Every structure is written in C-alpha cells, then in structure tokens.
Amino acid sequence: MYSSILLPIDLEEPSSWSKSVPTALALARCFEARLTLTTVVEDRKAGREAQWSSIGYREVLSTANARLGLIADEVRGASPLEIKVATGSICGGILDVAEQIGADLIVLASHRPGMRDWLIGANASRVVRHAACSVLVVRE
C-alpha cells in the first residue's frame, strides 16, 4: 500500500516525535516501504544563526544533517532509511521533500492545539491541508 514514507522531525523537540518514530517504523516494516527522516531548517532561524554568511548557512545545514543522522542511527530498523534536510517554512519544507521522494504517506506528530495555534495555524494542519499524499497525524 505504501512504498515511500516521510517522517518529519523537529530536532529541537524530541518529545514531538517520540510517538511518530515507532509508528512510522512499524508502517515501513509492514509495507516494506522506504522511510525518509527529514527536518526543516527555517530560513529566518538559519539566517540568524549563520549571521547571513553563506559559510555559516552551510554549517547550519551540515549540523542539522549530522543531528538527523544521529537520530537515524538510533532508530534504524530493518527498513531502508534515508535522511533529508530541507529549508524554508516548516510546512513548505515538508511538502517539498515529500514531492522530491515521491512519498505516498507522511507520518507526523502533533500536539493539542493551544491559543497560539488557533491564531497562527499549526504546521501539522497545514501539511494535512496541502499534502498531495496521505498524512497520518500521531498524537502524544
């Protein structure tokens, strides 16, 4: 049913993906699907951390790639596993990677919406609304 599963990870919030990782791994094993872990480095955050230097920007992306690689090493199971670091907005980055890899399922974590989420809109809800493939939202 699924051949390519995308698992977005927020490197700054391990609790936000603690439930989605086992779910995505189980689905990948069940369907013998390729699993891709991704994280998105927001442009404004990367710009601040890199101090608008192209060398600093590449370093920020390299650091994110290394951190994602460490997580991949921890969760690697019998399923093939890839990692991708995206840039831009959270929603846009996730959707771009999903399109690049031909994902037919995105498994992502969500939390109970707070007032800020109602005013601004949660990333999970944006992904659900705009994804071209199925999306499984895993709650804590």
Per the structure, the count of domains in the chain is 1
Least confident residue range of 46-50, 92-96, 136-140: 46-50
What residues make up the domain containing 87? 4-139
d(CA 91, CA 75): 24
User: pLDDT per residue over 73-115, tens digit each?
Assistant: 888 765 668 999 999 999 999 999 999 999 999 999 876 655 4
Q: What is the dihedral of CA 122, 19, 99, 90, to 10 degrees?
A: 30
Residue that the structure tokens 């199971």 belong to: 77
Q: Could you tell me the CATH number of the domain that includes residue 50? A: 3.40.50.620
pTM: 0.87
What is the mean pLDDT of the segment spanning 53-71? 86
